[in-house]
Amino acid sequence: MSVQFEVNGKNVEVEVEPRLTLADCLRHHLRLTGTHVGCEHGVCGACTVIVDGAAVRSCLMLAVQAEGAEIVTVEGLSNDDDLTPLQKSFRKHHALQCGFCTPGMITTAHVLLSEEPDCDAARVREVLSGNLCRCTGYISIVEAVLDARSAYGHKDDAGDRARERR
Amino acid sequence: MRTVNSLIGSAIERLEDLRFLRGRGQYVDDLARKDMLHAAFLRSSVAHGRIRSIDVSGARALPGVRGVLTAKDIGNRVPRVPMRLQPLPDFEPFGQPVIAETKVRYVGEVLAFVLADSAGIAEDALELIEVDIEALPAVADRHASAQNTSLLFEDKGTNLAIKFHAVLGDAAAAFKDAPYVRRESFRTQRHMALPMEPRGLLAEWDAVQGRLTVSGGAKVLFFNRRILAKEMGLPESAIEIVENDVGGGFGARGEFYPEDFLIPFAARHTGRPVKWTEDRRENLMCLNHAREAECDVEIACTREGTILGLRGHAYVDVGAYMRTNGAVGARNIAQFMSGPYRIANIDIDVALQLTNKTPVGTYRGPGRFETDFFRERFLDMVAQDLGLDRVEFRRRNLVSRQEMPYSIATITPFESKDAFDSGDYQITLDRCLDEIGWAEKSKLAGRLIDGRYHGLAIGCFIEGGAAGPKETARMVLEPDGLYSVYVGSSAIGQGLETAFAQIAADALEVPMNGIRGVFHGTTSFVSDGYGAYHSRSVVMGGSAMLEAATNLRDAIRAQAAGRLGCAPAEIEIVEGTKAVGPGGKSIPLKGLSTDGISAEGAFLNKKHTYTYGAHAAHVAVDPKLGHVELIDYVIVEDCGRIINPLTVHGQAIGSAVQGLGGAMMEHLVYDQQGQLLTGSLADYLIPTASDFPNIRAIVLENSPSPINPLGAKGAGEGGIIAAGGIMANAVANALSTFDVQPRELPLTPTRIWEMVQAAKQRAAE
Amino acid sequence: MKLPPFDYACPTTLPEAIELLASHDDAKAIAGGQSLVPMLAFRLAQPSLLVDLRKLADLRGIRISDAGVTLGAMVRWRDIEDDERLETAHPLLKAAISHVAHYQIRNRGTVGGSIAHADPAAEMPGIAMTCDAEIAVVGKSGAHVIQAADFFQGALTTALTTDEIIVEIRLPAWPAGRRWGFQEFARRRGDFAMAAAAVFYDQDERGKARNAHVGVIGVGDRPLRLTAVEDLLNGESIDEATIAKADAATSAAVEPQDDIHASAAYRRSLVGTMVERALTSAAAA
């Protein structure tokens, strides 16, 4: 079947079997290998992409269901020149080791921060509990996301200052 | 070696991050080749049986299928997966054929494999293969194994692969007159490394050159190349194993598995590139399992709390075959049960029992997690018995700084003597007590607050590192004046490229950007390599780099001396960028040689380093839910020399969360027929961001190791090692009103609730 | 775990969708796919045709009226989270849904999908049972309504025939002043419940409970209404003593199974604790 959608601002058309997942379509047909496949049954979150503004497990979506959608992958949240504020924060806080879960963390965090720039640590943990990481133990990831809030419009408050003092 | 404004010890942000954050990492499944075939494996769903027939005709007929192979297609002799560590002759009969021949011995064992135009078609074809297996009684656990009624290897007559023995002093004498003896049994559960990236391989055969290239290598590429060369009848020089980015290893990824032969074989067989990507269902049943162990041990003490001896028996369920490093965990259980404590008399044997389950291998802190749980639980129970303070009991028995190097129990067979290199275990214990606020928090121990019981625990551990025998590095002064570094060490996510760049930059006296890059793992990079395991990379790879740097600087001096017409000894290299001769004549190193100047270095080592420390935990237990909230968890460890505080801290936290997963929730569950019941990530539970948010790690460098020029001890496994014992002791402390004594992991809600119910029942009687 | 092969259709009208389901053997409707796709990945289901419901726009609304709350079958967990009206229109629904799965799944998973899938430990079927929901379905033979009590027939088994599609779930009106509580305990946040309890009751002039509803999940092959516990609560003050009795009666009323996540004995005790804590929070509000 022929499917048309937008990925990272570009219109694409692919010829796929109905059974092809969006994850596999992005990775193998469009060669956007930044989105990773860790489980293929919707638990690990490594495959998270942004579909029409929402964070979605691309291994649980069929490519044919993406017809007409606007999709953003980790590549679409990156540029060649510099790291984005979110990426810089991840690097500063050592929020990645092997890098495999990282694209899913970045896309999920980007959506969360875009919608809820004032989210607190508990909310960040709640949202990221759908993304498994085996290397970092998560604490540095949560710190990185909280530290990136100001780039999304969050104003520093007493809670932040208290956290920094610890 | 630069010692001022040193990069070693700096929290340099990682170089690897630049590609990982942008989704530009290159993991093996990201690779593609023209005309590539996809492989899928048919795996046994029967745990133990005799293969009567495998009919692949239906699969072969499916459009898009290019080949279906079974043992018959492999050749005269199906290769075996060899032992890499402790390769004793005892293990040889229990080696795994890379594809099942006459019997299957575990659910997941390869029966056949399909090569097709797509992964989907390959999987479709699996369903069309008809297999007839005569089921045999499954050996479900170590008890059934020891009975030897159903044998995995009939001609061996036994399911016991080997027994190791750890001996020190004279345990019989120590126990004979001991004022206090207690006997206990403990168990740890089967669980596994579960890296986020499943395995994968891409093999390419160049028939013209007779060259094989295999991508997807990790951990021990040079060893694997040696094995593959032998099994495929090729010279080693004809094979390159490439290390791409690797999504976590933790000991399990990178060992030589059956697929590591079968995929390259298929590439040569078909003449086309063959790619295989393991899926998570396979990963759960095929990647090395670990940690399933029991012990029945006795401890002897004086009434004042000096430990006199430790003796007993341990049993490890090693699964169906002895694979590359399947003996390590068992050996470590016996040898390291005493941990950082002075126990002069030890007699512990450990039996490796074969069962119809996935074979085991090393997983971060192999054997150490298990044995630490056994010992630390035991210490808390004994302290309670003797009315001793749990901290003071440990303190009086810790090996002291003055006793280093301290010899531990000797293991037979495979005569393995070892000694702790350096360390002041009191310092890390004291720091840990201070950080958790032990004195204050102790007041909460056992108290019921808002429906939950609070508990506290502390324990000490050692982590072994720096396995030898050797590591190699090569450094090159490029024509453009930058330096490239090649190492036999492997990257598994630990930040190797950055830490090694720091070491190289200091050794060459250049800033970080004077290093073009650190290239690791791939077999064409250095003449010989050993890889990443046993926390050895910094010690072995780092030290090899120092050697290479020295050799490179000698070579540079020789070259510069030729140009300046003086002796090499008269040349000084300044800031890694220019060579200055007598009279101040100087030439830039950029362009010194149009081909670049290269030098190798190696570090040889027979001794181990011992990172050590203490963990403490504060928990709150809800007895009705069986839920444990981790209120605070502190890790203090001394790793001798910190190369990058950012990455070593990250290792400690990540390692601890894995340990907490093992302590509280991870469990590979089998039924009595050898069926793996935990077949997905909805059943095999690992920690998420919500589970353990309150962990702190402090890494010290108080006691550099005397056995390598960096003074490093290695790091990465300490966090996981102590978690089981600590959590069990904290729960026991919390539920002390009930006299709950955990003897088994994981501490699931059901288990905790049942222990409370049992204790209430006992109290009522 | 590549999906098995299937054909795919994306109808734009309900009659079209029903016709597709009716005329193909082994056709299956796909809504959010958050439960179905994993089953396909494990090859536990191998439908010949997937009928995608995503273009059926009429199924996405949340209607609130005096008659109650009506959820279109394609309403996502996210939509329930975002709808502030539900704080007062159906707080129990809101509370229960906050436990469903994870952030990414909540953007795709649907009410109708969860009801049709009928996992014994899923929250939405539990709410449907507890609240006497009506499930409106349409099939070849037309439209009809199935009471929740008749809808769930076993683990992953419902009263739906192969040609039927759920269009709406109708929850009765929720009066102001109603007391309610929801308690769940799972292995980790977002996992399927080991046990959960949804309770509500109204009060008469003397403050005694009436119209008590006690629903539990995770302790049977389907969500359960515990009428024995409800009978115990009705006419009583919901105080510590009554709650303790309800706890014991809950445990006595269920027959859970052992599985790899929890033992039967533990679940039996746990569900009692869930009811106890749900009632305690209901009474305290």
Q: What is the CATH number of the domain that holds A110?
A: 1.10.150.120
Q: What angle do CA B484, B488, B494 make, to 5 degrees?
A: 85
Q: Is the pLDDT of residue C57 over 90?
A: no
Say yes or no for a CB contact (<8 Å) between A41 and B681.
yes
Q: Which pLDDT band, with edges at 50, 70 and 90, does B228 fall under? A: very high
The tally of CA atoms less than 13 A away on the side-chain side of residue B363 is 23
Whether A70 and A101 map to the same domain: the answer is no
What pLDDT is recorded for position B715? 80
Taking the C-alpha atoms of residue C92 and residue C124, their distance in angstroms, rounded to an integer, is: 11
Contact between residue C275 and residue C216 where contact means Cβ atoms under 8 Å apart: yes
Say yes or no for a CB contact (<8 Å) between C4 and B124.
yes
Q: Phi/psi at B89 (nearest 5 deg)?
A: -60, -25
| pLDDT single digits (tens) B6-26 | 898 988 899 899 999 999 999
Sort out which chain A residues have CB atoms less than 8 A from B649's CB and list them.
Answer: 94
Higher pLDDT, B543 or C4: C4
Whether A69 and A95 map to the same domain: the answer is no
- Minimal C-alpha gap between B750 and chain C (Å): 6
**Average pLDDT of span C157-166:** 97
Q: Is the pLDDT of residue B203 over 90?
A: yes
Q: Which pLDDT band, with edges at 50, 70 and 90, does B75 fall under? A: confident
**Average pLDDT of span B207-222:** 94
| pLDDT single digits (tens) B113-139 | 999 999 999 999 999 999 999 999 999
**Average pLDDT of span A134-158:** 94
Option in C3, C189, C263 nearest B688 (CB): C189
Closest CA to C113 of C42, C65, C190, C59: C59
Taking the C-alpha atoms of residue A53 and residue B521, their distance in angstroms, rounded to an integer, is: 40
Sort out which chain C residues have CB atoms less than 8 A from A130's CB and list them.
Answer: 101-105, 190
Tokens linked to B517: 């890059």
| pLDDT single digits (tens) B662-680 | 999 999 999 999 999 999 9
**Average pLDDT of span C123-136:** 98
Whether A106 and A155 map to the same domain: the answer is yes
Q: Phi/psi at A17 (nearest 5 deg)?
A: -75, 150
On whether residue A150 sits in a domain, the answer given is yes
Sort out which chain C residues have CB atoms less than 8 A from B627's CB and list them.
Answer: 185
Higher pLDDT, A81 or B540: A81
Residue A138's domain comprises 85-160
Q: Which helix (H) or strand (E) holds B645?
A: helix B645-664
Chain A residue with the nearest C-alpha to that of C49: A18
Q: Residue B699: helix, strand or coil by DSSP?
A: strand
Whether A149 and A89 map to the same domain: the answer is yes
Q: Is the pLDDT of residue B47 over 90?
A: yes
Q: Is the pLDDT of residue B143 over 80?
A: yes
**Among the three residues A17, A41, A76, which one is the final residue of a domain in this structure?**
A76
Q: Which pLDDT band, with edges at 50, 70 and 90, does A156 fall under? A: confident
Q: Is the pLDDT of residue B196 over 60?
A: yes
On whether residue A11 sits in a domain, the answer given is yes
On whether residue A105 sits in a domain, the answer given is yes
What pLDDT is recorded for position B724? 98
Neighbours of chain C (3+ CB pairs under 8 A): A, B
Q: Is the pLDDT of residue B358 over 60?
A: yes
Taking the C-alpha atoms of residue B150 and residue B674, their distance in angstroms, rounded to an integer, is: 13
Taking the C-alpha atoms of residue B425 and residue C96, their distance in angstroms, rounded to an integer, is: 50
Chain A residue with the nearest C-alpha to that of C98: A126
Sort out which chain B residues have CB atoms less than 8 A from C5's CB and list them.
Answer: 120, 124
| pLDDT single digits (tens) B725-735 | 999 999 999 99
Q: Which residues pair with B310 in a beta bridge?
A: B299, B346
Contact between residue A22 and residue A29 where contact means Cβ atoms under 8 Å apart: no
Whether A7 and A57 map to the same domain: the answer is yes
State chain C's mean pLDDT as an integer: 97
**Average pLDDT of span B582-605:** 92
Sort out which chain B residues have CB atoms less than 8 A from C261's CB and list them.
Answer: 683, 750
| pLDDT single digits (tens) C63-103 | 999 999 999 999 999 999 999 999 999 999 999 999 999 99
Domain CATH code at residue A61: 3.10.20.30
Q: Is the pLDDT of residue B95 over 60?
A: yes
Whether A70 and A33 map to the same domain: the answer is yes
Burial class of residue B426 in the structure, from the number of CB atoms within 10 Å of its CB (0-12 exposed, 13-18 middle, 19+ buried): middle
Say yes or no for a CB contact (<8 Å) between B120 and C2.
yes
Whether A71 and A99 map to the same domain: the answer is no
State chain A's mean pLDDT as an integer: 96
Whether A122 and A147 map to the same domain: the answer is yes
Taking the C-alpha atoms of residue B725 and residue B741, their distance in angstroms, rounded to an integer, is: 12
Higher pLDDT, B442 or B488: B442
Burial class of residue B763 in the structure, from the number of CB atoms within 10 Å of its CB (0-12 exposed, 13-18 middle, 19+ buried): exposed
Tokens linked to B99: 């594809």
Number of domains in chain A: 2
Q: Is the pLDDT of residue A105 over 70?
A: yes
What pLDDT is recorded for position A141? 98
Taking the C-alpha atoms of residue A115 and residue A153, their distance in angstroms, rounded to an integer, is: 10
Q: Which helix (H) or strand (E) holds B545?
A: helix B543-564
Q: Which pLDDT band, with edges at 50, 70 and 90, does B488 fall under? A: confident
Whether A69 and A10 map to the same domain: the answer is yes
On whether residue A166 sits in a domain, the answer given is no
Say yes or no for a CB contact (<8 Å) between B23 and A126.
no
Q: Which pLDDT band, with edges at 50, 70 and 90, does B331 fall under? A: very high
What pLDDT is recorded for position B495? 84
What pLDDT is recorded for position A43? 98
Kindly report the three-state secondary structure assignment for every residue of chain C. Answer: CCCCCCEEECCCCHHHHHHHHHHCCCEEEECCCCCHHHHHHCCCCCCCEEEECCCCHHHHCEEEECCEEEEECCCEHHHHHHCCCHHHHCHHHHHHHCCCCCHHHHCCCEHHHHHHHCCCCCHHHHHHHHCCCEEEEEECCEEEEEEHHHHEEECCEECCCCCCEEEEEEEECCCCCCEEEEEEEECCCCCCEEEEEEEEEEECCCCCEEEEEEEEECCCCCCEECHHHHHHHCCCCCCHHHHHHHHHHHHHHCCCCCCCCCCHHHHHHHHHHHHHHHHHHHHHC
Q: Is the pLDDT of residue B3 over 80?
A: no
On whether residue A165 sits in a domain, the answer given is no
Q: Is the pLDDT of residue A165 over 80?
A: no
Contact between residue C235 and residue C208 where contact means Cβ atoms under 8 Å apart: yes
Give percent above pLDDT 90 in chain B: 83
On whether residue A10 sits in a domain, the answer given is yes
On whether residue A144 sits in a domain, the answer given is yes
Beta strands in A20-132, from DSSP E residues, in sequence order: 48-51, 54-57, 70-72
pTM (2 decimals)? Answer: 0.96
State chain B's mean pLDDT as an integer: 95
CB atoms within 10 A of CB C154: 11
* B19-41 burial: b if 16+ Cβ within 10 Å, else e: ebbbbbbebbbbbeeeebbbbbb
Say yes or no for a CB contact (<8 Å) between C3 and A108.
no
| pLDDT single digits (tens) C180-189 | 999 999 999 8
Whether A67 and A126 map to the same domain: the answer is no
Which residue of B625, B665, B667 is the best one to mutate when testing the C interface, meaning the one whose CB has the most C CBs within 10 A?
B625
Whether A155 and A94 map to the same domain: the answer is yes
Option in A39, A96, A136 nearest B653 (CB): A136
On whether residue A147 sits in a domain, the answer given is yes
Q: Which helix (H) or strand (E) holds B519?
A: strand B515-520
**Among the three residues A76, A100, A116, which one is the final residue of a domain in this structure?**
A76
Q: Residue B137: helix, strand or coil by DSSP?
A: coil
Q: Which residues pair with B636 in a beta bridge?
A: B614, B698
| pLDDT single digits (tens) B684-714 | 999 999 999 999 999 999 888 888 888 888 8
| pLDDT single digits (tens) B241-275 | 999 999 999 999 999 999 999 999 999 999 999 99
Q: Is the pLDDT of residue B489 over 90?
A: no
CA torsion B320→B321→B325→B328, rounded to 10°? 60
Return the DSSP state at B149: S
Q: Is the pLDDT of residue A166 over 70?
A: no
Taking the C-alpha atoms of residue C85 and residue C158, their distance in angstroms, rounded to an integer, is: 30
Q: Which residues pair with B616 in a beta bridge?
A: B458, B634
Option in B624, B691, B750 nearest C263 (CB): B750
Closest CA to B743 of B313, B294, B187: B187
Whether A116 and A137 map to the same domain: the answer is yes
Q: Is the pLDDT of residue A118 over 80?
A: yes
Burial class of residue C196 in the structure, from the number of CB atoms within 10 Å of its CB (0-12 exposed, 13-18 middle, 19+ buried): buried
Return the DSSP state at B541: I
Closest CA to B425 of B381, B456, B391: B391
Closest CA to A102 of A81, A123, A75: A75
Contact between residue B92 and residue B150 where contact means Cβ atoms under 8 Å apart: no
**Among the three residues A76, A109, A137, which one is the final residue of a domain in this structure?**
A76
Q: β-strands B483-487, B515-520: how paired? A: parallel
